[in-house]
Structure 1
Amino acid sequence: MTTSPSLAPPDTTAVPAAGDHSLSGFGYPQQLHRTMGRFASFAAGFSFISVLTTVFQLFSFGYGFAGPAFLWSWPLVLGGQLLVAGCFAELAARYPISGSIYQWASRLGNATYGWFTGWLMVIGQIVVVTAAALALQVVLPAVWSGFQLVGGDPALTTRTGARNAVLLGAALIALTTLVNVVGIRLMSVINSVGVTAEITGIVLIVVLLLTHSERTPTVTLHTGGQSGYLWAFLVGSFTAAYVMIGFDSAGEMSEETVAPRRTAPRTILGALTAAGVGGGLLMLGALLAAPSLSDGRLASEGMSYVLTSTLGDGVGRLLLADVAVAVCVGTLAMQTAGARMLFSMARDGVLPFSARLAAVSRRSGTPHLPALVVGVLAVGFLLVNLLAPSAFLALETTCIVLVYTAYALVVGAMLRRRLRGLPIGAAGDGDGAGDPSAEPVELDEHGEPLFSLGRWGLPVNVLALIYGVAMTVNLAWPRAAVYDPAGGHWYLQWFSVLFLAAALLVGAAYRLRRR
């Protein structure tokens, strides 16, 4: 087991001098290869969000529950997440370390607080990898029927669709694992090319759908007669909440980014803003261009149905192929982020087999084992979808609860520090072991002031925490219609709450055992 250079004691070490790229001030050697530029950093966050992947995967979910009015949850969630991203941007400038969520929580709170935050986050990231890989089943059979390898109905809810999804998803995860093992240069190139293709695809799809509109935007004022506006927002927000996570990945890759104090804050905000605007326009275009809002196909087939039926099979399938590229690149980015989280925690000696998980290849400058662990566990969750699709649906939603909980824990620790009158970037606070009077870094690598919310910092932090807690409660609320649509399984209805409690108990047991 390794000894933590950061968390033992975590906060007594001063933050590195202004403009310093090294990690020595945080107690770490520079092991990962620092090769990522600004666009690659942006791509890391944008591809994790992966607008095309998640919108195509979850559009039908939001529409099925709340009708066209579910679109209004999008700007509300985007606004809330921008508050969170603003807080994260400040932290990324002051703590440019891999495993951002875990590291930020550890340094703003204490080692135990950070461990639980990282524990919840890494579980959520692994399940997100599985969910993203499953999105191939939504897209590829619609591009070409030959991708339905096992024959039968390709719908994910069917037995044949679930089996095929496991095959496609496992193949994709094997490929992304290989790319992660090869090294950051290949991953960065693939990510950048994929994000360029995704942005191009978003622009083309939006333009084509808006030029094929069948109705006016006033349709978004209707819920389809199924519910009121409050229900439309609360349940419809699941789609937006699921899409707009992972923007912190630019911070996850800080140790591999050139000038991270300057780059990461801007790419965190830029990735979320671009994804939010692009995703909102995609869904608006689909609602306006769909041949019918009432024949049931929009709620069951979602965006794939809109593209092929509105634009024709040829153009529709070509654009769906671009969506498939986005799915692959998004899965790669999600796995990379999860691997860096495992690496960061293992480097501090707080996980089983930490020494092996923290080992970095000298040739590639990449931690190989964390990528393999994330890949194997993600494939394991694929099998859950095969054996019990309803349970995986509940698990898929629950993973977002875990991510939102981790986000709220970071924002809460940050607010506590502000209320105590301590600078965010000073060394040490937490359990009192550090030196809260240490001077914070004030300049980035270019000699410019670090990103700061200034006098808006406190109100933004307060609103970000209120939003984060409220959205976490909304996502975790035991709605039978969401977690147990077939009915008759109380444990599925309460799955989110039970899983979160179990994760905390298992984490607590492991933490106590180590002590």
Structure 2
Amino acid sequence: MTAKEHAHGADEAQLMALGYAKSFERKMSLWENFALGFTYLSPVVGVYTLFGYALATGGAPMFWSYLLVGIGQFLVCLVFAEIVSQYPIAGGVYPWARRLIGDRWGWMTGWIYLWALATTVAAVAMGAGPYVAVFFGFDPSPQVNTVTAMLIIAASTLLNLAGTRVLAKVAMIGFLCELGGALVVGAWLLTVGREQSLSVLFDTAAVVGEGSYLPAFLAAGLAGIFQYYGFEACGDVAEEVPNPSRAIPRAMRLTIYIGGAAAMFVCLALILAVKDIGAVISGEDTDPVWTILTTNFGETGARVVLLVVLISFMSCVLSLQAAASRLMFSFARDNMLPASKALTRLSATHVPSVALILCGIVPAVIALGGYFLSNAVAVVVSFAAVGIYLAFQMVVFAAISARLRGWKPTGPFNLGGWGVPVTVLAFVYGVSAIVNLAWPRMPDANWYENYAVMLTSAVVVMFGLIVLPFMRQGSRHTAVAGE
């Protein structure tokens, strides 16, 4: 037996000890696993999409939100890395929460996360619409956004159906394009297109004068909060990675290190390249990113940059859909969803084809509704980020609960004596981020828009509690920490 065959045998023995037989092929390397997390986190998509809002709301000092949120999410990442090292099971947050507390908690965690992923896929796919319009010279419109979303979701589904090997390769291509584009554009802007000094990063007076800057900073900080997730996707495909107990914790940390650094670099370059920050804050310049690109690269050069941005959107949707399908597969494998037999069926390319198709249809329906019911869908999509943060903190809380009941992580990646303080700090940070996401900030808007995050979260949680008893009836076995 070769060393590689021995390693694969050890991986399958570990999976068998956790109660599952081999389903997937382990064809995703460490760096491809990292690329999946990086393209899900997608610094280009996150920064470019929310840069105008964050700069107009919090001015240049909003840059520091990326650093603060990055530190908070790194704590969450460490907690997840410790858990996946012991429980390298496909589906990520659902099986982790289930192992740490039990069926009900795990099911609700996965339920919230699954809907958050579906709405995020729709939101990212629709978010590419304005860039497509600019790239091809169309006028941005709901029609363009909807058609773009449909095409991206369809292409993503086809690529995902092609198998793990294709997913890994496309994720790696997306990572190289995105990181390369971010470095090249950022370096050019910092060396040739720079308009501001570093002191602007500390200039709060431009936004609030002599008043408190904290409310503006917290509002602008939503850009950072929306940025730093995706590392958990490395664990969603745990059964497709060799030596997952060691590889996935490393891939998760690399996602935060490299993805976070890239996001901060892109944001810094854009801020320092803005010629008139006051015009952005006052609303005169409503699209500072396009202004910066056309000023520094011309129309043709700006479109080349937009092509990289569109590749980033495509690879982001691909990674999101892959994560959602593995979560759905994991649910169904435990017989906790209707039509579980169909949802666990693997295609000739060893991917859950029915789950993948369903994870394309649901976001497509949400995106299609964006054309007919724009206001209603905007309210639903607002659940995307807070749903992911809720699911994250349910896992972190599960880790705290399990530790209080005597659980001690035994995977190769272990925080040791730092485990308890890191987990508690991660939970405090996560709850604070959720409060910031849900805080009503639009007193002049309709009440349901102002409280959209809380309303959509309540609806998803309540509906989950209603269907939970029916979903658990077919569960094949229980799973608790230390099993």
Instruction: Look up the SS of the partner of 1:225 in the other structure.
Output: helix
Specify whether residues 303 and 257 from structure 1 end up closer, same or farther in structure 2 by C-alpha distance, changes over 3 A only: same
The separation in 1 between residues aligned to 2:307 and 2:284, in whole angstroms, is 20
Specify whether residues 384 and 298 from structure 1 end up closer, same or farther in structure 2 by C-alpha distance, changes over 3 A only: farther
Return 5+ residue gaps in structure 2 as ranges. Answer: 1-6, 474-483
2:171 match: 191
Given candidates 239, 243, 266, the residue that maps to 1:255 is: 239
The separation in 1 between residues aligned to 2:445 and 2:116, in whole angstroms, is 26
1:231 match: 215
Q: CA deviation at 1:492?
A: 1.6
Given candidates 291, 297, 300, the residue that maps to 1:314 is: 300
Q: CA deviation at 1:418?
A: 2.1
CA RMSD, Structure 1 to Structure 2 (Å)? 1.9
2:197 match: 216
Return 5+ residue gaps in structure 1 as ranges. Answer: 1-15, 155-160, 425-439, 443-449, 482-486
Instruction: Tell whether the 8 Å contact from 1:291 to 1:309 is kept in structure 2 after alignment.
Output: no
Specify whether residues 321 and 347 from structure 1 end up closer, same or farther in structure 2 by C-alpha distance, changes over 3 A only: same
Aligned residue type for 2:324: G
Q: CA deviation at 1:68?
A: 1.5
The separation in 2 between residues aligned to 1:334 and 1:17, in whole angstroms, is 27
Instruction: Look up the SS of the partner of 2:286 in the other structure.
Output: helix
Over the matched positions of the two proteins, sequence identity in percent amounts to: 30
Instruction: Look up the SS of the partner of 2:185 in the other structure.
Output: helix
1:414 match: 399
Specify whether residues 322 and 407 from structure 1 end up closer, same or farther in structure 2 by C-alpha distance, changes over 3 A only: same
1:98 match: 90
Aligned residue type for 1:510: V
Aligned residue type for 2:312: A
Q: CA deviation at 1:19?
A: 4.7
1:176 match: 156
2:421 aligned with 1:459? yes
2:101 match: 109
1:366 match: 351
Q: CA deviation at 1:320?
A: 1.5
Aligned residue type for 1:257: V
Aligned residue type for 1:493: N
1:391 match: 376
The separation in 2 between residues aligned to 1:187 and 1:324, in whole angstroms, is 17
C-alpha deviations, 1:95-115, integer Å up to 9, x for none? 111111001000001100000
1:125 match: 117
The separation in 2 between residues aligned to 1:302 and 1:343, in whole angstroms, is 42
Instruction: Tell whether the 8 Å contact from 1:139 to 1:304 is kept in structure 2 after alignment.
Output: no
Instruction: Tell whether the 8 Å contact from 1:63 to 1:298 is kept in structure 2 after alignment.
Output: no
Aligned residue type for 1:124: A
Residues 243-322 of structure 1 correspond to what in structure 2 (within 5 A)? Answer: 243-296=227-280, 300-322=286-308
Instruction: Tell whether the 8 Å contact from 2:11 to 2:242 is kept in structure 1 after alignment.
Output: no
The separation in 2 between residues aligned to 1:390 and 1:353, in whole angstroms, is 33
Q: CA deviation at 1:131?
A: 1.2
The separation in 2 between residues aligned to 1:343 and 1:275, in whole angstroms, is 27
The separation in 2 between residues aligned to 1:480 and 1:72, in whole angstroms, is 24
The separation in 2 between residues aligned to 1:480 and 1:394, in whole angstroms, is 13
Q: CA deviation at 1:17?
A: 13
Q: CA deviation at 1:298?
A: 8.1
The separation in 1 between residues aligned to 2:290 and 2:360, in whole angstroms, is 27
C-alpha deviations, 1:330-359, integer Å up to 9, x for none? 110111111111111111111121111111
Specify whether residues 298 and 82 from structure 1 end up closer, same or farther in structure 2 by C-alpha distance, changes over 3 A only: farther
The separation in 1 between residues aligned to 2:68 and 2:285, in whole angstroms, is 22
2:478 match: none
Q: CA deviation at 1:299?
A: 5.8
Q: CA deviation at 1:371?
A: 1.1
Q: CA deviation at 1:501?
A: 1.2
2:468 match: 511
Specify whether residues 126 and 385 from structure 1 end up closer, same or farther in structure 2 by C-alpha distance, changes over 3 A only: same
The separation in 2 between residues aligned to 1:19 and 1:228, in whole angstroms, is 57
Specify whether residues 239 and 299 from structure 1 end up closer, same or farther in structure 2 by C-alpha distance, changes over 3 A only: farther
C-alpha deviations, 1:235-279, integer Å up to 9, x for none? 111111111112111111110011111110000010111111111
C-alpha deviations, 1:117-174, integer Å up to 9, x for none? 00000000011111111222232222231xx3xxxx31xxxxxx11101001100100
1:478 match: 440
Aligned residue type for 1:267: A
Structure with the larger helix share: 2
Aligned residue type for 2:91: G
Q: CA deviation at 1:18?
A: 11
The separation in 2 between residues aligned to 1:298 and 1:87, in whole angstroms, is 44
TM-score in terms of structure 2 length? 0.91
2:146 aligned with 1:166? yes
Given candidates 343, 347, 368, the residue that maps to 2:333 is: 347
Corresponding residue pairs, total: 459
Instruction: Tell whether the 8 Å contact from 1:21 to 1:259 is kept in structure 2 after alignment.
Output: no
